[in-house]
Structures are given as structure tokens and as C-alpha cells.
């Protein structure tokens, strides 16, 4: 496409209204053609359009997935990758004189409080714009790279799943959006785990940041001033003239890494999740987990890095440590107790296992569990509260789970597997004892056993140096701290093990009941023939699918019981099947009016499943989405054929379906029964529940399954082998099908 001598800035603003498929390629061409002045004028409008500063979906980074819209996904992803057109635009605008204002009103609430109270590091000192009359921060003055990255971070905190159906589907289905992949790419590109890696590209302006001593201080003031502190403002109002701003300064080499580190950590881990605010989406929790894992990998390479980036690597984990505990505590307290709880659980488990994230980790042998490196003992001691208090907080929530559900059993297995690995239980017990000893707390009376003394015997009686400060931490001085290996938690663990053990026995009882029911269905000649034929033409029944899942649960629960017994030195319960009561659900006791709209933790999964069994399908089975075991072309072709037949013979089908003789029974085996189809009509701007009655109708969709497509050629091959006539196999198959229909009609 030819571009004439026109105002490229106006052309860019016009392109922003194009569809994504055309917007990104044309904008990518104009990035290299425009002058710096024109790009500077339209850059804020471009960023605002991408992230929709008014709270919309913008270009759809958080709603576009590869599964739902592969073409738009590829176009967006290639435009925003670290070496793509968007970053070429950012790098062209890197200059001392080019700054963009970002209003603090769009920042996360706690990040604004940090800036207004003066509790920020020197990183922000040369970014702040301060109103001299109100003595408050009004905006941030950012270069093009920082402006884009900070807007990208803020976009992830917007609760789009509350406002847009497309984002809600992503939230529910845990799909990986373009935003998810780009987050991983940005963190890996600008905070590389490999100490020899170089942040690309290298040929960019290195004087866009004021040179400061590395590392930039990550610690916050110990007091909260009433007004803005003057020390960080002094740098903003009167910068030091003697500071060198040559590209050789350490900050010139790693300023992009520094910006990504501070903006992501402060923007996401200061996210406010108190009772008065919306919960973030599950996608937000998953991208925070990516951040946690990459920060661990980035920080674990500090000892191997000889460049100026090593100082930033040493800051990564301390910055995260200072913010992660209140974030995790509030998220776990409010998150709904359903299958999405596993997303929050995995975030916490990723944080407390930094030894898993190193650039030289060998992932080929996943069955071998390497011992925890002694260098992580300091991390465990400094983060003891996050190990113990979060575990104690999550334990009562797990007690409300129904462990006869496989998903809940897997969540329990993940939790217990982490805390039972290698020497972690011994390390935690040792750290708690030393902390208690340091502050003279005698309330903790942990039980020791021979299998624990092996770890203690190799340790010094004196507390390590880091306990001089950590042992006097407010968490241990306050009475709110609960010792993980104390008597109180041990009593809770005993009750919890008993609950899990009873759940295991319930599952085994249910497995036995279903197996007996399936055997009963195949007793007798006709029932056996009907069952055999149904296996040829139908998938597994609901009972067989349920049995297949239930058989996995006892082993998972048994491992959890054994591991809990080992960690806490608790004896296994002695309960037999005769001592447990049959499971009952009392619906009269359920009071849903007082529950939070997102908190379904007061209803157990067993109660929810029992409610679901009373629900009826309100959509036509013939219009369900095409499944993985079906041929797409055949499903659509057979649907058109059956629609034509149903229109031509609708009256005849209805008459035969209503008959009470053998022909009526056969018709009821072949035709789908009448049903009421319900849908929501939103064409008028609000939802109206519409209902449509469907008559008896023919559905040949089962012929489109790959199982049927395999059975037909096999029958022809067998007939060709035995009688030399392949069509005879097809005739026999049709005959067996009609025999099956007649037998099922007679049985009914």
C-alpha cells in the first residue's frame, strides 16, 4: 500500500479504528515512516487505545485466545512481542527530552498510597511530578518504554471478568490469552534467568535514566510520615549535577530490567483485595504466578552474574518478600472454595519453592526429587510466616472441601506433596523452635521423634545470625502467631486426617456400589446382549465415567493421609466402614441468602452435585458444540440431513412417537423425545428468557463419531476376509443395529 505525503499522525489515529487484522500490520509500517515528533504526539493515544484507559477491553489482549480467534491472536502477539513493532516504537521515542505523563488516579490504590506517603524507593524519585501547593504526587513522568510497561501492568488489574462476557469465559475456562503469553515473554526477556543472557536490543539510548548507585534501595521507611518526605523529593527537585550520565554507568546497562522489576512487583503485589473491592480474575492470579516464578529464577542467578544486573538480581526476592504475605493472605481468605481455588494454591506453592526455578534446572527426570539445597535455609527462615501461617489459614478451608471429588483430592495432594518433600518439614520445625527460643517463648512444645533428630543433630544449638532480627519479628511477638508444630495445630491435623480417611472410605463404598450396579445391569441374556451392543455404538455411560474417576481418588487420599501423619507425627485413625454413617444431604439447612455472590464455600461439592442431578438440559443436544471424538464435516452434514427429514416428516414422527404399540416403542428408541429449549434473548439490550417446544425428531449425530467411522470399515474388512463380500459386513452391522433397537424397545 502506497503512502502519500500526508500527516502520518492523523493516519495513525485513523488506523486505530480499523479491525485488528488490518490495524497492526499498517501501524507496524507507519512506526518506521513517521517522524519522532509525529510519534510523540500520537503515542499516548496509541497506548490509550491498546489498553482502553476508561476500563474497556482495548485491543482485546485479555479476551483473545488462540483457541477462539487464532488469526487475531497471532497478529496481536507478533505486534507486541519484545522485538516487535510496538517496542520499536517505544525505542524510537527514547530520549531525555521526551516524557509522557501518567496520572496517579489510574494506579492501584496501595501503589498510590506508597507514593503519597513517601514510602518509595529511589527508583521513583526522578519520576514523580508533585503539586507544590497540595504537596502530593499528581503524576509520573515516564519515558516511552516505562509508559507502555506500566500501562500494561495496570491493564492486568482491571476486573474485566466482571464487565465483559468474553473476559468472563476466559476467567472460567482458564484459557491462555495474548496478555498471558506476553506477560511471560516480557518477564523472561527483561529479567532473564540465565546470567549470560543479554536484554535485546542493545543498541538503544542508554541515558534515559538518571544514574543512581546500584542497587536502588528497595526498602521503605520504617515510619509513615504525615506529609511527603523531603529526602526522595530532593532528588526530584534538585538533581545532583555531579552524577555521571554516561552509557557506561551500571544503570544505563540494566534500566529496562529495573523498570520491569519495580512496575510489576509494585503494580501487582500491591493489588488491593480487601472486602470492599472486587476479586481479581483467575487470569490475574496466573500471571502473578508467572511473575513469582520468574523473580525466583532471576534472583537465583545472582551469584553467577558478574554484570551490573547482579545487584538487581539480589533485590528481586527481597522486594517480593515484603509484599507477598498480605497479598496471599487476603486472596486466600476471600477466594471462592471451588475448583478455581487451585490457581491461588499454585501461586502460593510456587512462591515457597524457590529451589524449583533455576536456569540450569534439569526437567527431564521429574520422578527424582532432589534434596533442598542448604542455601535456601535462609529464605525459609525469612519467610517462615508465609509457610506456616498460610498453611494454618488454608487448613480450615480445606476441611470444608468434599474429598470424594477428584479435583479436590488433587488440590490436597499438591499441598501435602510440597510440604512433605525432602527435609522441608524438619527445616520448618527447626526454624519455629529457633524463633521461639530467640524471643523466650515457651508456649511451643513440639514433639520430637527419632526421625526428626537426624536433622537437628547436624545443626548448631545457637540460632543463626539472621534470627537476631527475624526472631524479634512482630509476627512472633504478637499472640496471633500460631505455631505450625504446636499442640493446637496437631489437634486440627488429627481431625483433618480423620475427615480425609472417612472420605476415602465413602469413595470405596461408592465404587463398590457402582460396580455392583453395573454387574446387575448385565445379568441375563437379553441384558448382556443389549449392553454389548450399546458398547459398540455408544460412548461410556455416566456410571462408567464416574467409576473411572472414583478409582483414582483412594490412592490420592491415601498418600495425603500418610504424608500428613509423617509431617506432624500423628497416628492414623482406626476407623472401619461399620463405624461411619451413610452420607445424607439436608437441603433444608442450606441458607444461601447470606453468602457472598462469589463465595460458594458454604456449600460442599457433594451438595452441588446433588443439586445438579435435578437440573434438566435446556438446549437441543443436536446443537451442542462439536466434541473432540466427532468428525466436524460429518456432524454438520448429518445435521443438515436430519433438519430436512424432520421438516418433511414431522407429523408422522409425532404420530408414531405417541403410539403405545410396538411401533411406538421402536419410534421412542430411534427419535429424540420432545423437550423445551430455553435461551436468553438480548437483542433489546436486556435478557429475556425465551422458550421453544421441540417435537419428536430424528438425530443421526452418533454416526459422526470416530468410533462409528472405525467400526464400519472393520466390519467390511471382516466380511471381505470371511466371505469375499465387503458390503455383507455393512448389512450385518445394520441388522445388528435394528436388533439392538428392537431388544431395547421390548425391554422398555
pLDDT tens-digit readout, 5-36: 457 888 999 999 999 889 999 999 999 888 99
CA-to-CA distance for 567 and 257, rounded, in angstroms? 40
Chain position carrying cell 490509550: 48
Q: What is the pLDDT of residue 126?
A: 87
Q: What is the pLDDT of residue 593?
A: 39
Instruction: Using the predicted structure, report yes or no on whether residue 1 has a pLDDT greater than 50.
Output: no
**What are the domain boundaries of the chain?**
8-361, 372-589, 621-681+688-747
Closest Cα partner for 156 from 117, 197, 108? 108
Q: Is 249 helix (H, G, I), strand (E, B) or coil?
A: coil
Binned at pLDDT 50, 70 and 90, residue 452 comes out as very low
Question: Which residues is 177 bridged to in the sheet?
Answer: 65
Give the angle subtended at the CA of 58 by the CAs of 53 and 59, to the nearest 5°: 145
Q: Cis peptide before 215, with omega less than 30 degrees from 0?
A: yes
Task: Please tell me the chain's helix, strand, coil percentages from 3-state DSSP, rounded to the nearest 5.
Answer: 60, 5, 35
Cβ atoms of residues 509 and 577 within 8 Å: yes
CA-to-CA distance for 156 and 167, rounded, in angstroms? 12
Q: What is the pLDDT of residue 362?
A: 63
Q: Is 368 helix (H, G, I), strand (E, B) or coil?
A: coil
- State the helix-helix crossing angle for 20-33 and 70-80, rounded to 10 degrees: 20
Percent of the chain with pLDDT over 70: 74
Q: Cis peptide before 689, with omega less than 30 degrees from 0?
A: no
Q: What are residue 599's phi and psi, to 5 degrees?
A: -100, 105
> What's the whole-number mean pLDDT along residues 303-314?
88
- Among 213-217, 239-243, 373-377, 705-709, name the one with the lowest average pLDDT: 239-243
Q: Are strands 128-131 and 688-694 parallel, antiparallel or unpaired?
A: unpaired
Q: What are residue 320's phi and psi, to 5 degrees?
A: -70, -40
Please name the residues in contact with 615: beta carbons below 8 A apart, sequence gap of 6 or more: none
Q: Is 137 helix (H, G, I), strand (E, B) or coil?
A: strand
Q: What is the pLDDT of residue 421?
A: 87
Q: Bigger pLDDT: 545 or 225?
A: 545
CA-to-CA distance for 209 and 201, rounded, in angstroms? 17
Cβ atoms of residues 167 and 160 within 8 Å: yes
Count CB-CB contacts under 10 A for residue 187. Answer: 22
Cβ atoms of residues 88 and 126 within 8 Å: no
Instruction: Using the predicted structure, report yes or no on whether residue 49 has a pLDDT greater than 50.
Output: yes
Q: Compute the chain's Rg from CA coordinates.
A: 32
Q: What is the pLDDT of residue 306?
A: 86
Closest Cα partner for 217 from 308, 128, 121? 121
Cβ atoms of residues 411 and 401 within 8 Å: yes
Chain position carrying cell 538487581: 312
Closest Cα partner for 415 from 560, 223, 520, 294? 560
pLDDT digits (tens, 9 = 90+) for 370-391: 788 888 999 999 999 999 999 9
For the sheet containing 136-142, what is the strand order? 100-103, 136-142, 128-131
Chain position carrying cell 468434599: 402
pLDDT digits (tens, 9 = 90+) for 616-671: 556 778 888 888 888 989 999 999 999 999 999 999 999 999 998 999 999 999 99
Long-range contacts of 68-77 (CB under 8 A, 24+ apart): 68/175, 71/21, 72/20, 72/21, 73/178, 75/20, 75/21, 75/24, 75/25, 76/20, 76/24, 76/178, 77/178, 77/181, 77/182
Q: What is the pLDDT of residue 142?
A: 94
**438 to 252, 426, 462, 464, 679: CA distances (angstroms):** 44, 18, 9, 10, 65
Q: What is the pLDDT of residue 57?
A: 81
Closest Cα partner for 89 from 45, 129, 126, 127? 45
pLDDT digits (tens, 9 = 90+) for 135-183: 888 899 999 999 999 999 999 998 887 777 667 666 666 789 999 999 9
> What's the whole-number mean pLDDT along residues 355-366?
71
pLDDT digits (tens, 9 = 90+) for 671-710: 989 988 877 665 555 567 778 888 999 999 888 888 888 8
The DSSP string of 305-350 is: --STHHHHHHHHHHHHHHHHHHHHHHHHHHS-SSTTHHHHHHHHHH
- pTM for the whole structure: 0.74
Chain position carrying cell 435394528: 738
Q: Bigger pLDDT: 215 or 226?
A: 215
Mean confidence (pLDDT) of the chain: 80
Binned at pLDDT 50, 70 and 90, residue 410 comes out as very high
Binned at pLDDT 50, 70 and 90, residue 202 comes out as confident
Cβ atoms of residues 567 and 455 within 8 Å: no
| Burial track 375-387 (b if 16+ CB lie within 10 A, e otherwise) | ebbebbbbbbbbb
> What's the whole-number mean pLDDT along residues 39-61?
88
Q: What is the pLDDT of residue 4?
A: 43
> What's the whole-number mean pLDDT along residues 584-593?
42
CA-to-CA distance for 253 and 308, rounded, in angstroms? 7
pLDDT digits (tens, 9 = 90+) for 711-743: 888 889 999 999 888 899 889 988 988 888 888
Q: How far separated are the first and last CA of the chain, in Å rounded? A: 70
Closest Cα partner for 504 from 554, 567, 562, 446? 554
Amino acid at each position: 500500500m502506497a503512502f502519500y505525503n500526508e500527516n502520518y499522525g492523523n493516519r495513525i489515529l485513523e488506523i486505530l479504528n480499523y479491525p485488528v487484522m488490518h490495524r497492526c500490520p499498517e501501524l507496524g509500517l507507519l512506526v518506521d515512516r513517521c517522524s519522532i515528533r509525529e510519534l510523540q504526539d500520537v503515542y499516548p493515544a496509541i497506548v490509550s487505545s491498546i489498553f482502553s484507559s476508561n476500563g474497556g477491553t482495548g485491543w482485546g489482549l485479555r479476551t483473545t485466545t488462540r483457541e477462539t480467534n487464532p488469526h487475531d491472536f497471532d497478529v496481536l502477539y507478533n505486534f507486541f512481542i519484545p522485538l516487535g513493532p510496538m517496542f520499536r516504537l517505544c525505542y524510537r521515542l527514547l530520549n531525555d527530552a521526551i516524557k509522557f505523563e501518567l496520572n496517579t488516579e489510574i494506579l492501584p490504590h496501595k501503589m498510590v498510597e506508597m507514593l503519597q506517603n513517601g514510602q518509595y524507593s529511589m527508583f521513583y524519585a526522578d519520576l514523580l511530578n508533585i503539586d507544590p501547593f497540595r504537596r502530593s504526587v499528581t503524576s509520573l513522568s515516564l519515558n516511552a518504554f516505562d509508559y507502555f510497561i506500566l500501562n500494561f501492568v495496570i491493564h492486568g488489574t482491571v476486573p474485566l471478568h466482571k464487565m465483559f462476557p468474553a473476559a468472563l469465559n476466559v476467567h472460567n475456562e482458564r484459557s491462555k490469552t495474548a496478555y498471558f503469553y506476553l506477560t511471560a515473554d516480557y518477564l523472561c526477556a527483561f529479567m532473564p534467568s540465565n546470567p549470560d543472557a543479554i536484554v535485546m536490543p542493545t543498541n538503544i539510548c542508554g541515558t534515559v535514566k538518571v544514574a543512581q548507585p546500584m542497587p536502588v534501595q528497595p526498602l521503605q521507611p520504617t515510619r509513615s510520615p504525615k506529609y511527603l518526605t523531603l529526602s526522595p523529593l530532593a532528588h526530584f527537585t534538585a538533581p545532583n549535577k555531579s552524577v555521571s550520565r554516561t552509557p557506561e554507568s551500571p544503570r544505563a546497562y540494566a534500566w529496562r530490567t529495573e523498570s520491569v522489576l519495580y512496575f510489576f512487583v509494585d503494580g501487582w503485589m500491591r493489588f488491593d483485595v480487601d472486602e470492599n473491592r472486587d476479586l481479581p480474575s483467575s487470569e490475574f492470579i496466573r500471571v502473578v504466578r508467572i511473575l513469582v516464578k520468574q523473580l525466583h529464577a532471576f534472583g537465583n542467578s545472582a551469584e553467577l552474574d558478574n554484570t551490573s544486573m547482579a545487584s538487581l538480581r539480589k533485590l528481586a526476592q527481597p522486594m517480593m518478600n515484603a509484599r507477598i504475605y498480605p497479598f496471599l493472605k487476603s486472596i486466600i481468605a476471600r477466594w471462592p472454595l471451588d475448583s478455581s481455588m487451585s490457581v491461588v494454591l499454585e501461586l502460593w506453592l510456587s512462591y515457597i519453592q524457590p529451589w524449583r526455578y533455576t536456569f540450569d534446572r534439569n526437567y527431564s527426570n521429574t520422578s527424582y526429587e532432589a534434596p533442598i539445597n542448604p542455601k535456601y535455609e535462609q529464605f525459609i527462615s525469612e519467610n517462615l510466616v508465609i509457610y506456616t501461617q498460610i498453611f494454618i489459614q488454608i487448613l480450615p478451608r480445606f476441611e470444608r472441601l468434599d474429598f470424594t471429588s477428584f479435583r479436590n483430592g488433587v488440590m490436597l495432594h499438591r499441598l501435602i506433596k510440597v510440604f512433605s518433600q525432602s527435609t522441608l518439614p524438619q527445616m520448618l520445625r527447626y526454624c519455629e523452635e529457633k524463633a521461639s527460643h530467640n524471643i523466650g517463648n515457651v508456649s511451643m512444645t513440639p514433639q520430637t521423634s527419632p526421625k526428626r533428630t537426624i536433622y537437628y543433630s547436624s545443626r548448631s544449638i545457637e540460632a543463626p545470625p539472621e534470627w537476631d532480627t527475624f526472631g524479634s519479628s512482630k509476627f512472633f511477638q504478637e499472640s496471633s502467631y500460631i505455631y505450625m508444630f504446636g499442640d493446637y495445630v496437631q489437634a486440627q491435623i488429627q481431625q483433618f486426617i480423620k475427615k480425609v480417611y472417612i472420605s476415602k472410605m465413602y469413595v470405596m463404598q461408592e465404587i463398590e456400589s457402582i460396580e455392583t450396579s453395573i454387574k446387575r445391569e448385565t445379568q441375563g441374556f437379553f441384558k448382556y446382549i443389549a449392553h454389548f451392543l450399546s458398547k459398540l455404538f455408544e460412548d461410556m455411560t455416566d456410571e462408567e465415567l464416574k467409576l473411572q474417576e472414583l478409582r483414582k481418588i483412594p490412592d490420592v487420599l491415601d498418600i495425603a493421609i500418610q504424608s500428613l501423619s509423617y509431617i506432624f507425627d500423628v497416628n492414623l485413625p482406626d476407623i472401619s466402614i461399620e463405624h461411619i454413617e451413610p452420607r445424607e444431604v439436608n437441603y433444608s439447612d442450606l441458607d444461601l441468602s447470606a453468602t457472598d455472590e462469589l463465595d460458594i464455600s458454604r456449600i460442599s461439592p457433594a451438595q452441588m452435585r446433588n443439586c445438579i442431578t435435578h437440573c434438566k438440559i435446556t438446549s437441543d443436544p443436536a446443537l451442542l458444540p462439536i466434541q473432540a471424538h466427532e468428525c466436524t464435516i460429518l456432524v454438520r452434514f448429518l445435521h443438515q440431513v436430519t433438519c430436512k427429514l424432520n421438516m418433511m416428516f414431522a407429523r408422522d414422527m409425532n404420530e408414531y412417537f405417541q403410539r403405545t404399540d410396538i411401533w411406538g416403542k421402536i419410534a421412542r428408541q430411534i427419535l429424540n423425545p420432545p423437550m423445551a429449549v430455553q435461551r436468553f434473548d438480548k437483542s433489546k439490550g436486556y435478557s429475556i428468557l425465551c422458550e421453544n417446544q421441540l417435537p419428536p425428531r430424528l438425530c443421526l449425530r452418533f454416526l459422526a463419531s470416530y468410533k462409528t467411522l472405525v467400526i464400519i470399515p472393520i466390519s467390511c474388512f471382516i466380511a471381505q476376509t470371511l466371505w469375499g463380500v465387503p458390503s455383507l459386513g455393512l448389512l450385518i452391522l445394520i441388522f445388528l443395529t435394528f436388533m439392538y433397537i428392537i431388544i431395547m424397545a421390548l425391554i422398555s
